[in-house]
Amino acid sequence: MRNAGIYAGLGLFTLRSFLEAEACRQIRREMSSSLLTPAMVRPVNQATGVVNETARRTGIAEVSAKTDALVDSRLLAIKPAVESHFRVQLAGCQAPQFYIYDEGDFFLPHRDRDTDPLAPDHVKARQISISIFLNDQTDGVDREPYRGGALVFHGSRGGQSGATLAIPLESEEGMCVAFRPEWVHEVRPITAGKRYSIVTWFY
C-alpha cells in the first residue's frame, strides 16, 4: 500500500491481509448469491433508519453463520492491537454487515457516531469503526476489480476555518482499516464493477 505512512500519520489503523485472498473470494461468492436489502440512513433527531437513495445507495447481503463467525474471530484476534493503537478499552464488536456497492452506488459524507441524543444505544456505544475490503482496483483471484468507490476521509487543516481535506484510502483485497467513528467519511460512486466490503464497529 503506497500511502501506508500517510494513513498511519492520520491516525488510521490498517492491516493488510486481514483476510486471505481465498477467504475474500468465497465471501464474495456467498454475497453474490444473496438477496440484497437496501441499506438505510438515520436522519438526525430520529431513532430509526429510512431508505434514502439520495444519501446512500448500497445493498446488504445475508451470509452464513460460518462466515459471520470467521469474521468475528479475526476481529477479536486484532482487538488488542486496535486497543493499543487508539488507547481504548473495547468489549467486543457488533454484528458485521456485508455490503455490495453496484455501479452508481455510493454513501455521502457521514459519521458513524455523533452527539444525537436520539441515536440508538448500539450507535452510541461505537468506539471504533472497521472497514474490510473484499476486492480492490486491481485483479484479484477471480479478476473482480472495481472502479470508483473510494473510501474518502474528510477533515480540516488548521481548525474548522482551515482548508478542507479529502483523503482517499487505497483499497486492497483483504485489508482492514480502523478509525474513530466521529471521523467524517464517504464512499464515492462506483463507476464500474462491484465493490464488496464488510463494516462493523468495536464497542
Q: Does pTM surpass 0.85?
A: yes
pLDDT in tens, 158-203: 555 555 789 999 889 999 999 999 999 999 999 999 999 999 999 9
Please determine, for residue 74, whether its predicted confidence score (pLDDT) is greater than 90.
Answer: yes
Which residue did the predictor score with more confidence, 156 or 121? 121
Q: Where are the domains of the chain?
A: 4-40+54-193
Q: What whole-number distance in Å separates Cα of residue 22 and Cα of residue 62?
A: 19
Cα separation, 150 vs 167, in Å, equals 9
Cα separation of 19 and 44, whole Å?
A: 35
Grid cell digits, residue 39: 441499506
For the stretch 154-168, pLDDT in tens is 986 555 555 578 999
The superfamily CATH assigns to domain 4-40+54-193 is q2cbj1_9rhob like domain (2.60.120.620)
